Amino acid sequence: MPHEPALHHPTPITRPPALAHPTAAPISVLPTGTGIAWVTLPDGTRTLAYTHPTPTDLAPAPAPPATVPGWAKTTALLAPTVGGGIGAAGIGISYAAPGLIAMAEALWALVALIAAGAALPLILRTGRSTRGRGAAPVQHITQHVTATGLFGRATGTLNNR
């Protein structure tokens, strides 16, 4: 066997460099609800894959907590205002109380004065006797007033007997 020369190719054949496998994003970075999840294949390999929704995924979301109604917020905001107004009124009444008491006493004194003034002529009349003196003649005054129309000028006569 003769020695055969090796066939040489003008350009050497090189292998491509090994491709670096991109790393997958952690599951926490993936958006939720996309149907992508880590799954374990029958041969034990874990990989990201599209998944079908499970009945627990389709369950309705729990109702959000009930919010406070608007009327309750308004009432809660008005309560301190009303309470403050009542407190201010109480303070004002406490400052005005001595004056009110003095005014009440003055009004009672005025009532007593009016009562005494009304009773004085009655007391004086009962003290007089008509015996010994002649009775004073009774005087009669008659007045006659006439007016014509709604805004007419009134005229009158006075008869003193």
Q: Higher model confidence: residue 152 or residue 29?
A: 152
pTM of the model: 0.28
Is 53 in contact with 35 (CB distance < 8 Å)?
yes
d(CA 72, CA 95): 35
The answer to whether residue 18 scores a pLDDT higher than 70 is: no
Burial class (CB in 10 A: 0-12, 13-18, 19+), 90: exposed
pLDDT digits (tens, 9 = 90+) for 48-62: 888 776 666 566 777
pLDDT digits (tens, 9 = 90+) for 93-114: 899 998 889 999 999 999 988 8
The answer to whether residue 88 scores a pLDDT higher than 90 is: yes
Question: Mean pLDDT across the chain, nearest whole number?
Answer: 77
The answer to whether residue 131 scores a pLDDT higher than 60 is: no
Give me the mean pLDDT over the 145-157 stretch: 81
Burial class (CB in 10 A: 0-12, 13-18, 19+), 36: middle
User: Would you state the pLDDT for residue 41?
Assistant: 86
User: Would you state the pLDDT for residue 86?
Assistant: 93
The string of DSSP letters for the chain reads -PPPPPP--SS---PPPPPPPPPPPPTTTSPTTSSEEEEE-TTS-EEEEE-PPPHHHHSPPPPPPPPPPHHHHHHHHHHHHHHHHHHHHHHHHHHHHHHHHHHHHHHHHHHHHHHHHHHHHHHHHHH---SSSPPPPP--EEEEEE--STTPPPEEEEEE-
